[in-house]
Each structure stands twice: as C-alpha cells, then as structure tokens.
C-alpha cells in the first residue's frame, strides 16, 4: 500500500553521505542505549548473571530491527534522521513497508562490514543510492528546514 507523504510532490534532493553518516552516529548511540536497557532487564531476570547465547543475540537483533523499522515505516525518520532533516521513503515518494525496512536493515550490515562500501557506493551514481536503497526500492532525501514560528 502506497501512502504518500504530504510534501512528496515537491522535488527533494538526495541526502548527502555526510548527513547520512551523522544520522547513523546518532542512531548508533540510541541503539547502544536500547541494548543497555535490555541488558539490564535481562540480567535482572536472570538472577544477576550475565546473559549470553543465541537467544540473547537474536533478541538484540530483533530489538534493533524493531527500532529502525518502527521509525522508518511510521514517519520515515529515526531520531538521528530527524535531527539531520533526512527521511527514507519509497522511490514513489511515500511511506516504506515493513518488508522494505527489513531489506534495508539486512543490507546495512554487509554495507558497513565491507568498509562502508555500500554507503560509499552512493558517490558513484547520479541517483545517490546506497546498496540498501537499491535493494529495498527506497531512497533517503534531504528535507527542507521548517520555518521557526515567530515569537509572540
């Protein structure tokens, strides 16, 4: 189902690599905080003992995906993207689906693991698309700054 954003008729320029990386840094700090909260809860539920194993790693993986997918599918912006005026949207200019968010999330790992090659790739094309964008049929755009309301 394609749900357009209110400002989708306007032409929005692709986000720069620098802004994407800065938004990723913000989001990484938030994900680390999420992991710390989940870790504290898990240790508390485990009688004060450390939690390890495949179940725990799977829980962290799902929680991390849930963080990104929730924001991407709801508003197109994680908190880091909001701070840098970025939004992920479908190539048609609307909200992305949970499937698209899963593909973006899964491709992000190899994109980073290969020295960031999946993100550096955007510098080679005119469309400025990363591997995650290409694989999921999405793009990250730079939003216009909203005018501040006048003080009364």
Average pLDDT over residues 77-98: 94
Q: What does pTM read for this prediction?
A: 0.85
Cα–Cα distance measured from residue 132 to residue 139, given in angstroms and rounded to the nearest whole number? 9
The answer to whether the CB of 111 falls within 8 A of the CB of 56 is: no
- pLDDT of 120-130, one tens digit each? 999 998 889 99
Q: What is the pLDDT of residues 92-105, one digit of tens each?
A: 889 999 999 999 99
Two tokens at 61? 């993986």
Mean per-residue pLDDT for 121-146? 91
Is there a contact between 111 and 135 (Cβ–Cβ < 8 Å)?
Answer: no
Q: Which two tokens stand for residue 150?
A: 């006048």
Structural domain boundaries in the chain: 17-142
Residue with tokens 């450390």: 50
């Amino acid at each position: 189902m394609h749900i357009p954003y209110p400002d989708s008729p306007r032409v929005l320029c692709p986000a720069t690599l620098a802004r994407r990386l800065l938004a990723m840094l913000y989001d990484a700090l938030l994900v680390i905080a999420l992991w710390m909260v989940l870790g504290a809860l898990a240790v508390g539920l485990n009688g004060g003992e450390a939690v390890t194993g495949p179940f725990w790693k799977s829980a962290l993986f799902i929680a991390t995906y849930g963080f990104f997918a929730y924001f991407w599918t709801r508003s197109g912006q994680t908190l880091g993207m909001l701070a840098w005026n970025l939004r992920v949207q479908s190539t048609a200019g609307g909200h992305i689906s949970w499937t698209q968010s899963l593909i973006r999330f899964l491709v992000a790992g190899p994109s980073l693991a290969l020295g960031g090659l999946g993100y550096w790739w955007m510098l080679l094309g005119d469309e400025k698309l990363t591997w995650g964008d290409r694989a999921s049929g999405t793009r990250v755009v730079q939003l216009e700054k909203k005018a501040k309301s006048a003080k009364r």
